Amino acid sequence: MTGDTPHFGSAEEEKGNAGKPAVAFSYPLIRYTDMDDGMKKDVMDVCTLACERHTSNNEMCAKMIKEVLDKKFGPSWHVVVGEGFGFEISYEMKKLLYMFFAGSLAVCVWKCSY
């Protein structure tokens, strides 16, 4: 393992962890984005704050994210928050972020004004 490259354990390494608790990530983990670095950081911060404030209510979390992004970057932002969903969307270039928070909670945000 070198630098910032994530390391995913092999089957043999996982067997050696028997009896140990699974690792739960409490920080944002970006799965995909095409955003510029500045916007990516701002959107990640908004998503993280919303996920922390509304840990048991995905609907309120999504609403908070949408309202903040619409004010900060203009309408129309769309947000999905939850576990175990797939998506196929049309979006404006450089306006998509798909991340995980606290392990299995996924957040997908995109802008589509047309």
pLDDT tens track for 23-32: 455 678 999 9
Q: Are 79 and 65 in contact (CB under 8 A)?
A: yes
The sign of the torsion formed by the CA atoms of 25, 63, 85, 93 equals negative
Quick check: 4 pLDDT over 90?
A: no
pLDDT computed for residue 28 by the predictor = 84
Tell me the per-residue pLDDT of 36-60, one tens digit each, with 9 for 90 and over: 999 999 999 999 999 999 999 999 9
Indicate the length of the chain as a whole number: 114
d(CA 33, CA 40): 8
For tokens 């994530």, the residue is 6
The pTM of this model reads: 0.76
3-class SS letters over 76-109: CEEEEEECCCCCCCCCCCCCEEEEEECCCEEEEE
- DSSP H or E stretch at residue 112: none
Quick check: 97 pLDDT over 70?
A: yes
Quick check: 67 pLDDT over 50?
A: yes
